Structure formats: structure tokens, C-alpha cells
Amino acid sequence: MHIDIFKVLPDLALKLVENSIEGIVITDANEVIQFVNEAFTQISGYSAEEAIGQTPRILKSGKHDKSFYEGMWASLIKDGAWKGEIWNKRKNGDIYPQRISIISIEDPSAPGNKYFASVISDLTQIKHDEEELRHRADHDVLTNLPNRYLFQDRITQAVNRAKRSNGKFAVLFIDIDDFKKINDGLGHDAGDMVLREIAMRLVQCGRDVDTVSRVGGDEFTFILEGVGAADITIVAARIIERMRQPFSFYGRDIHLTVSIGIAMFPENGKSAAEIMKNADMAMYHVKGFGKNKFFFFTPELNDRAIKTLQLETDLREGIKNREMIAYYQPKIDLLTGKVIGMEALARWPRFNGRPVCPDEFIPVAEHTGMIVDLDTVIFELACDFTRQVKKILNGNGKSFRVSVNLSPKNIEKKGFLSRLIKIVERVGLSPEDVEFEVTESVIVGNIASAKAILNSLNSDGFSISIDDFGTGYSSLSYLMQFPISSLKIDKSFIRNLSTEPKALTIAKAIVSMAHGIGVKTVAEGVETQDQLAYLRDMGCDQIQGYIFSRPLPEDEMADLITAGRVFEM
């Protein structure tokens, strides 16, 4: 016979129990349920009529073994209480987590007669929120892929598994080529859409057991376990092919390529950090060789990286110690044969070693940002020497200009315009004596910023020339937006004038177009009489190249100017 719970609990306590937001169950000493409140019904799905007379075993989930319940009852008998987390089952079959506190209660009206009261809290939402927080902590919010933190954990586990089983695995370091152009050109919404699509395609390129992570803005990694070089090659080729397929953003097709570096355990490293470093190194090797490829790490790459690091250290010291000098290559007017300008080129004779080729140290300077200081050194030297040249010409070289290359890093540097003006003024030149050569990538990389800066340079009196014209971007709209005084036809076209009809056609088109908008043309890399004849016939304005002179140090360039050497047509 069931007890009258109203006689056991005072009225106030009963009201609290009935209206509690936590479920409350009271059983007798034989575990038969005597009372449940409304919150219990909401949590479990069992009404009071369905629960009373049953035992709590109707809630068992099957997730706990016999010893778990034996320990619970042992605590209740010994201490009169037990609390902990438990998995129970709702009436509809859903298994859910609970926090339960159980105490034994002695019936004041019948000493020795015990009851057990359980206070139940549903942890479903709390557990869900905790899991969501854990997921957010180790997953990328945008793509839902594992982030750098989880990737580090996964690669460490892969290393440990491979060591235990003498197994292998590979890491693919994947970088999206020129991704910045999407954010700059179409906005971050387009960039985010593309990144989500990239993540989905990468996952589709692997197996369920593989780990694909987003470890940076446009950098992804792939961990492939238990595979050989042939399988890795197939996956890398599959990724490249999938990325070639256009991404659609509101009806606009976006085309992308990827560069992939691959390192294998244990051949390319014995630790997670070493494997990742070498995969990253292999990826940058791909970047240097045209992108849109994959490359396996080799020991030679590591040797090259060590040399590059040493070169970086030496370059920093070289710039600091003013080891850099400028060489000058003359520019010739094709009508008169006279030297009407020169281009200043950075050289590094290196006081304590062999001269360093510009193709070696210029990319390092660009990559590290040291190009800003290097450009400043060369600009100061060029301005000072140009002042000397102007004295030699003694008023006969009013239009004589020195051309100086301007890197993207310099354009991005705050205050660089005022710094240039101060150098020109200090040396005693006029801005009209200086021409800056910029590549198409500088302009197209950030049109709004480049337009403001180049217009400012032009309004101050400096001239602007587009270097390596024809090798950058197909859009020519910037020619109408920027104050350009000349175009330098890239030497790749000049080299093939007499052997490649397409090169000749392109060169003619550049000259015709430039003249049509009032811009002069300069052909760089001219070496043969055949090239010269073609350029003269198409009406090119100026030439620069070994056919007249290689780049010269200051003293030899000064001698050439003093002698008034004229190019023999």
C-alpha cells in the first residue's frame, strides 16, 4: 500500500517539491516509486500515474554495468547519500545524461522506515553546450574543419601510431594561389564562400580516416596514413584537378589553383614539427616554380633553406653596413642614338665573399621586407650619382632621368612618399630627374591604393614606367587610370622577335597601343642587330640592353657619359 506523501511532507515543502524545475523522485526502501513531480515527467516522459508503483529501473539506459549500481547503493547505505552523473533513458527511448543527488529519509511517523529521495537535473543542454564549446575550440568556424590546434594533436597521434607500428604517413601542405585577389576584388563574402567550397572539395578528395584541416587563412593540411608515394601522388593530383573546376559566386566563375608540398614520415622527419616544416618548405618550392603543382620534400630543399636563412642574415648585415652598391644600365633614344637615361640596379659585391647574384638576394629581400631598406639605399645612391651625371652633361641633359625600381613593399610602407622627396631635395635633384619603374602586379594588387600613390608621385613631378609589360595581367584598364609615362616591353618578347611571329605581333601591338595613348615604349634586353631592326621598324622609342652596354659601376658609367658616346645605328 502506497504512503500518503502529504502526511510525510509539510505543505510548504510539498509545494516547493511539486514546483521545482528539477525532477524529484521518492521511493520506498524497496525502490518502489512513491512520488514524482511535474519536472520529472517533463524530463523522463513518464507521467506520475505511469511512474508510481514502478522502480527506477524503468529509466535504465544500459550504459552502466552492475558494479556501478552496487557502488551507488553501497554509498547510500554507508553515508546515507550519493551524487553523480548517470545516463538514463526517456520513455521515448532517448538516452540522456543526468546529474542525480540521492539521500535517504527516515519516516518521522514510523522510525526505522526509510525512503530515498532523488533530485534529478537534465544535463542534455549543458552537455550539448560543452560539446559545442569543445568543437569550436578545435574546429575552424568558417569551414568546420579541424583547426591548427586539433591538427597539431592529430599529427602528433599519427607520429605515435607510426612509431609503434613502424608505419608511414604523409602530410600535404596546401596553399591557395593568389587567394588575396578574391578578397580584394570580390570581397570577403566571396572569399568565405570559396573557402567553404575548398574545404568540402578537399574532404571529398580523401578517405574518412584522413584528416583535412584549415591551419591558416588560405592554408590547409591533409594527413594521409598508411599510404605509399603512389597513393599520395594520386590524392595530390586529384586535389589539383578538383581545384581547377571553377567556383561559382552569384553567377560569376572564380578560377583557382593550389600549390602542394608533401613530406613523409619517417623519411622526411621524425617529429610532427619537422614533418610540418618540411611539407611547408616543399610547398614554397612549388610557389617558386610557377604554382599549381605538387612537390615532395627532398634533402636538397632543406640545404637550400639553410642557405637562404644564412643569406637572409648576411643580407640584413649587408644593408646595415652599406655593402650594397648601384650599377647603371644606359637607355638609348632610337632616333638620336644618345644616352637619355639609365636604370639603377642593386648589386651586392659582399666585402667578405663572392658577389651575390641579384636573382638570389632580391627575392629574399622581397620576402623578408628588407626590400624597403634596400630600395632606399639604392635610391639614395642613384640620386647622388644622377646629380654628378647632370654636372657632367652641364645643361645638355635636361631630360636625362634615372629609373629606380619600386617594390610593392615600399608602396605599402607608411610615409615612403615624404621619404623620397626628402632624399631628392637633400641630394639637390628635382623629381623630374627621377622615374619609378613598377610592375603590373604592384598596380593590380591593390588598384585603389596604387592609384592614390602613383598619382601623388606624378603630381610631385616623378615619372612612372610600367616594367615587364605584357607578362602580368590581361586587363589594360589601369593604363587609363594611372599617370604612366612609358611602358617597358618585357625581354621575353624581345628575345623572340626574329624567331616567334607571336612575339613580334605582341611587341608591335604594345608599341602601337602605347603611342595611341601618348606613352613612350622602352625595349629591355636588346642584344642583337635583328632585334634592333625590328624595334626600329615598329617605332619603339628607346632601347636598353647588352647591344649597347651591360650594367656599369659608377665610374664606368661616368666615363661613358663624359665621352658622349652615341649608339651606332
Q: Within a 10 A sphere around the Cβ of 514, how many other Cβ atoms? A: 23
| pLDDT at residue 385 in the model | 95
Bridge partners, 24 (sequence order): 119
Q: Could you tell me which residue, 10 or 25, shows the higher pLDDT?
A: 25
The CA-CA-CA angle for residues 233, 235, 238, to 5°, reads: 105
Q: Could you tell me which residue, 522 or 449, shows the higher pLDDT?
A: 522
Q: Could you tell me which residue, 57 or 133, shows the higher pLDDT?
A: 57
Instruction: Please give the radius of gyration of the chain, using alpha carbons only, rounded to the nearest integer.
Output: 38
Q: Could you tell me which residue, 306 or 569, shows the higher pLDDT?
A: 306
Range with the poorest average pLDDT among 130-134, 136-140, 246-250, 373-377:
130-134
Give the class (CATH, top level) of 309-562.
Answer: alpha beta
Range with the poorest average pLDDT among 45-49, 183-187, 190-194:
183-187
Q: Within a 10 A sphere around the Cβ of 509, how many other Cβ atoms? A: 12
* Contact by Cβ (8 Å): 77, 55: no
Q: Average pLDDT of 173-182?
A: 90
| pLDDT at residue 8 in the model | 54
Q: Which three cell numbers stand for residue 284?
A: 614554397
In the chain the first and final C-alpha atoms are separated, in Å, by 124
Q: Average pLDDT of 101-128?
A: 82
CATH of 5-129, one of 3.20.20.70, 3.30.450.20, 3.30.1490.20, 1.20.1440.230: 3.30.450.20
Taking domain 139-297, whether its CATH number is 3.30.70.270 is answered by yes
pLDDT of residue 120 exceeding 60: yes
| pLDDT at residue 9 in the model | 55
pLDDT of residue 560 exceeding 90: yes
Give the residue carrying C-alpha cell 657632367: 392
How many CA atoms lie less than 13 Å away from 7 in the CB half-sphere? Answer: 7
Q: Cβ contacts of residue 502 below 8 Å, gap of 6+?
A: none
Same fold, 139-297 and 309-562: no
Rounded Cα gap, residues 174 and 181, in angstroms: 17
The CA-CA-CA angle for residues 86, 90, 91, to 5°, reads: 150
Q: Cβ contacts of residue 436 below 8 Å, gap of 6+?
A: 403, 404, 405, 406, 457, 462, 463, 464, 465
Report the chain's mean pLDDT, rounded to a whole number: 87
pLDDT of residue 4 exceeding 60: no
* Contact by Cβ (8 Å): 545, 526: yes
- What is the tens place of the pLDDT at every residue in 295-324? 999 888 878 778 887 888 999 999 999 999
| pLDDT at residue 1 in the model | 45
The pTM of this model reads 0.61
Q: Within a 10 A sphere around the Cβ of 165, how many other Cβ atoms? A: 9
| pLDDT at residue 492 in the model | 87
Closest CA to 87 of 120, 132, 129: 120
The rounded percent of the chain whose pLDDT value lies above 90 is 42
Q: How confident is the model at residue 456 (pLDDT cuts 50, 70, 90)?
A: confident
Q: Cβ contacts of residue 92 below 8 Å, gap of 6+?
A: 45
- What is the tens place of the pLDDT at every residue in 341-394? 999 999 999 766 678 999 889 988 988 889 989 999 999 999 999 999 999 888
pLDDT of residue 261 exceeding 60: yes
| pLDDT at residue 481 in the model | 76
* Contact by Cβ (8 Å): 64, 87: yes
Rounded Cα gap, residues 313 and 190, in angstroms: 39
Q: What residue segments make up the domains of the chain, in order of their start?
A: 5-129, 139-297, 309-562
Q: What burial class does residue 233 get, using C-beta atoms within 10 Å of its C-beta: 0-12 exposed, 13-18 middle, 19+ buried?
A: middle
